[in-house]
Structure 1
Amino acid sequence: MEFVGRSEDLRVLEEQLRVVVEGRGGTRGRALIITGRRRVGKSRLVQEFCDRSGLPYVVFQATKGRSPAAERRDLAQAIACSALPGRQLVEGLEPADWNHALRSVAVAASEQSPCVVVLDEVPWLVEQDREFEGALQTAWDRHLSSRPILLILVGSDLSVMESLQEYGRPFFGRAARMTVRPLHLGDVAEMTGLSATDAVDALLITGGFPEVVRSWTPGMTRADFLRASLANPLSPLLASGELSMLGEFPAATLARAVLEAIGTGERTFAAIAKRAGVTGPLPSGTLAPIVNNLIAKRVVSVDLPLSTQPDTRNKRYRVADPYLRFWLAFLQRAVAESERGRPDMALRRIERSWTAWRGRAVEPIIRESLARLLPDDAWPETEAIGGWWNRRNNPEIDLVGADREPVAGQIHFVGSIKWLDSQPFDRHDYDALARDATFVPGTTPTTPKVAVSRAGVEPALPLDAIWTPEDLLAAWTSPPAAPRH
């Protein structure tokens, strides 16, 4: 299958390998920790990189719940079956511990010729054997770092992977870190063959998860993709979310209930507690650590109002990636409906709520795109893009551009997002923005007004900048042009 996208990720990996090949690091070897959500394409990316490198490599993937002895034996077998120059030296090896197993990597690697060594699903190795981390540090310091090896450690449990680099942990300070994110808007547009406007819809539905995006036949409309995917219970659109949820958040757990509450639209702590509770709201002492854990795993994001006044009381929570947000809102119920031959029910439910759901779901994508476009010549000091709201969400400002966050020194602009199919941003929208902007701390009557609109803007409105879907796409595909003023 053709590998599409990930050009920036491949560039980063190639640069890490170049440091090893050219001997430019502090040690001959180099270690890299790769994290990212499950099913985001980390293993596929690393395999593609290894294949393109043209160098000997070995890829070992751990198995959850397997005994450490079996894992060590499989690692030795993977090395023996690889193209590493000394692979024959470890044939039939049954390492007694992880020090022995990891030292065998150095035995099979050349002292002169570079190679790549990949350990995938590292959190499972850490979970299975408490001695793994210490053995990894010992093997790296005494054997691996002195050879031209690019050691890549891959894992989906972000909290575990990040803890490997914490001060006081054995591997602290020994590895660079890279996060593999879902495919971005430019990649999705390229793979689906859609216009900028329709590619945004495709990103909201697929979340940029490679397996789901690849199932979108180029040029297929949103309605046709949903119809075909919902009719197939095994389609990547339905199955990927179910597999991710089962792998990370088994049913009938409080974490699952909290995530479902957020995914179905609850944004405040109190509303989440009420929705996730069974006989009553979840106590704060129960909910807070669950939410914090979801944030640590990058499953949930927390937003704060952006203005010149600090405000930590009005946090708003959301599911971090668009696909899981879409799956929780619409597809979780659709799995059973598809299995019993009634995908039409899910399709009607999506179409009935699509416009309202999309209007909220598109906001983080737009803010992230503007954060790539800015600063520019028109807004040379704008380095933070957010929104603003009060406790009652009335008013609520979609866009706030500022010099910094979470507390701005200066507000550079305020703006509105209008993401409707055929209704442009009009005078009514502008008047509402001008009225509501006065509530944002740090604004004045002369604070510039901007708009992002799917269907264009009514002529002659006194806006200081306008961004279109094409501008958002350009943020991911080419040096962006200045917004229209």
Structure 2
Amino acid sequence: MIREFVDRETERALLEEEWRKDGGRLIILYGRRRIGKTRLVTEFIRGKAGILHFAEDTAAQIQIRRLQEAVAQFFADPLLATLEITTWDQLLTYLSQKPLPERRYLVIDEFTYLIKNDPTALSALQKAWDTALAGSNWCILLSGSMLGLMTDSALSYTSPLYGRRTRDMLLGPLQLVDARRFLPSFSFQDVLKAHLTIGGIPEYLLKAGDYPDYATFVEREFFSKYSYFYREPYFLLSQEFRELKTYQAILNAVAVGNTAPGAIAQFCGMDPRHLYPYLGAMTRLGIIEKELPLLGSRRQGLYRIKDCVFDFWYNFVFSHRQAIETENHSVDTVDMNPYFGKRFEIFVRNEFARKIFWGYTTGRWWYRGEEIDLVAVREIDNGIVFGECKWGSLTEREARGVLVRLVRKAEHVRHEHYPNERFCLVAGGVEGKGRLRDEGFLVYDLADIEAAYTAG
């Protein structure tokens, strides 16, 4: 199984750029749990000198004492280790007043635990930064996973650190081209299934890489009460929110197909007016997202689950917990094709189409009962691509039928600014795709997707 550090070249380059600049640097690195922040930090500080502090969810005085010990060890100052330091202001003042002839780092991993247990850490850091650290050789990196707290306390305009950070970085999931490197024993179809199930989260991919194929992985790690993912979404929600039952109900509603606010509220038995704060909170954390039609009416958006693990879990685990608890549930009894169809469409729009249609803005279109899975536009040549996505395999006759209906639906979307039209079909398999291509259609199947990602 792969253990080397994968991808993150852009992030590493940005961190190195910050390191090489003059003066103090204050970097905020944040992202969902399991995304690989600690590993990125570890790679960044390799071969450099400084202080690395792993914060824990414990009393502020314990946190201060532990960081005090690390600072005393770094400066070889036994006197500091014996002093009675009780506030962040005292400790950071000491740090800011120590001469530092060369660039050094101070990394606080899971910084949110510090401000959760003692918010004065923020104002203490602000004071130390303004008085000395901004002009020093310290490169300070604050990393956090509690996205709500990180956004509100460290990144918002009301934060004491507002206007002082020299860079902030939201670490996102890996793309398929890198994620597949974690799964060397999987077939490409299984790699894609895993990508549609757990996304590009490095720790999740490492777990999947322990298994020979997708079915075994899902059976062992989702559909068992002792599995890694059995309580994972619940744990992630509990780190951010208190009203777990309400958030769980909303996620369940969206997962099973209620995407309009009214439908979500009805499913949950809520007043629609009370729904929006919950939707906003989860949107801010990247759990769900609001989608607006491309080239359509933008007055009413729809909601879908953005995080694959949440989507899969609320589709297949949440509603089957009793059967899983009694060990009366198996992956063989679950029809996952509708789920894969939905996530495959999203993958094509957000990853594959952007890979093959260079320079295009991608989205989808819907109005009343009509929908087009993929709409991609490009300004430089006024081009537009209309596309349909099918998870399964199609005969040539079925593929032609899909394309004929697509051409007809496109009449509702046509825009005078985009006269150069093309029509696209992406499916698991397409019989006769060569003949369809000869007729001017853009046709791709799983073999073409694999070739595109094999080429990198």
TM range (shorter): 0.7 to 0.9
One-letter amino acid of the counterpart of residue 312, structure 1: R
Which segment is superposed worse, 206-215 or 184-193?
206-215
8 A Cα contact 1:80 1:88, kept in partner: yes
User: Aligned partners of 1:92 and 1:447: how far apart in 2?
Assistant: 74
Distance 1:231 1:387, change over 3 A: closer
Does residue 348 of structure 2 align to residue 359 of structure 1? no
Distance 1:150 1:438, change over 3 A: same
* Correspondence for 1:290 among 274, 278, 300: 278
Which residue of structure 2 lines up, in the alignment, with residue 465 of structure 1?
442
Distance 1:15 1:298, change over 3 A: closer
Q: CA deviation at 1:319?
A: 1.1
Does residue 424 of structure 2 align to residue 450 of structure 1? yes
Q: CA deviation at 1:18?
A: 4.5
Does residue 170 of structure 2 align to residue 179 of structure 1? yes
8 A Cα contact 2:106 2:138, kept in partner: yes
Q: What does residue range 64-463 of structure 1 map to in structure 2 within 5 Å?
A: 64=57, 66-80=58-72, 84-86=74-76, 88=78, 90-106=80-96, 111-163=100-152, 164-175=154-165, 176-193=167-184, 194-217=186-209, 220-230=212-222, 232-249=224-241, 252-277=244-269, 282-307=270-295, 309-313=296-300, 315-344=301-330, 347-350=331-334, 352=335, 354-370=336-352, 372-373=354-355, 376=358, 382-391=359-368, 394-403=369-378, 412-421=384-393, 426-442=399-415, 447-456=421-430, 458-459=432-433, 460-461=435-436, 462-463=439-440
Secondary structure of residue in 1 paired with 2:155: coil
Q: CA deviation at 1:477?
A: 6.8
Which segment is superposed worse, 123-132 or 288-297?
123-132
Which segment is superposed worse, 135-144 or 367-376?
367-376
Q: Gaps (5+ residues) in structure 2?
A: none
Which residue of structure 2 lines up, in the alignment, with residue 483 of structure 1?
none
User: Aligned partners of 2:426 and 2:307: how far apart in 1?
Assistant: 21
Aligned residues: 448
1:291-313: CA deviation from partner (whole Å, max 9, x where unpaired): 11111121111111101x54222
Q: CA deviation at 1:42?
A: 1.9
8 A Cα contact 1:397 1:415, kept in partner: yes
8 A Cα contact 2:354 2:360, kept in partner: no
One-letter amino acid of the counterpart of residue 358, structure 1: F
8 A Cα contact 1:403 1:411, kept in partner: yes
User: Aligned partners of 1:246 and 1:421: how far apart in 2?
Assistant: 40
User: Aligned partners of 1:349 and 1:248: how far apart in 2?
Assistant: 33
8 A Cα contact 1:229 1:235, kept in partner: yes
Distance 1:256 1:266, change over 3 A: same
8 A Cα contact 1:103 1:144, kept in partner: no
User: Aligned partners of 1:93 and 1:465: how far apart in 2?
Assistant: 71
Q: CA deviation at 1:451?
A: 1.8
Which segment is superposed worse, 324-333 or 450-459?
450-459
Q: CA deviation at 1:390?
A: 1.0
One-letter amino acid of the counterpart of residue 201, structure 2: F
One-letter amino acid of the counterpart of residue 276, structure 2: A
1:264-299: CA deviation from partner (whole Å, max 9, x where unpaired): 33211111101112xxxx223211111111111211
8 A Cα contact 1:184 1:476, kept in partner: no
1:62-116: CA deviation from partner (whole Å, max 9, x where unpaired): 333x3333322222123345xx3446463234433222222344467x6123322
User: Aligned partners of 2:285 and 2:97: how far apart in 1?
Assistant: 36
Q: CA deviation at 1:122?
A: 2.7
The alignment-based identity, stated in percent, is 25
Which segment is superposed worse, 428-437 or 161-170?
161-170
8 A Cα contact 1:249 1:256, kept in partner: no
Q: CA deviation at 1:324?
A: 1.3
1:332-386: CA deviation from partner (whole Å, max 9, x where unpaired): 2455544432242xx2443x2x11111012222221214642653xxxxx43100
TM-score, structure 2 as length reference = 0.87
Secondary structure of residue in 1 paired with 2:298: coil
One-letter amino acid of the counterpart of residue 26, structure 2: A
User: Aligned partners of 1:474 and 1:171: how far apart in 2?
Assistant: 46
1:186-226: CA deviation from partner (whole Å, max 9, x where unpaired): 23211112344331101112222223221224672222222
Secondary structure of residue in 2 paired with 1:7: coil
User: Aligned partners of 1:263 and 1:93: how far apart in 2?
Assistant: 55
TM-score, structure 1 as length reference = 0.82
Distance 1:154 1:472, change over 3 A: farther
User: Aligned partners of 1:5 and 1:464: how far apart in 2?
Assistant: 40
User: Aligned partners of 2:159 and 2:454: how far apart in 1?
Assistant: 39
1:29-80: CA deviation from partner (whole Å, max 9, x where unpaired): 2111111112323223323433xx211233323333x333332222212334
Distance 1:56 1:410, change over 3 A: same
One-letter amino acid of the counterpart of residue 29, structure 1: G
One-letter amino acid of the counterpart of residue 235, structure 1: S
8 A Cα contact 2:187 2:213, kept in partner: no
Secondary structure of residue in 2 paired with 1:448: strand
Which segment is superposed worse, 166-175 or 412-421?
166-175
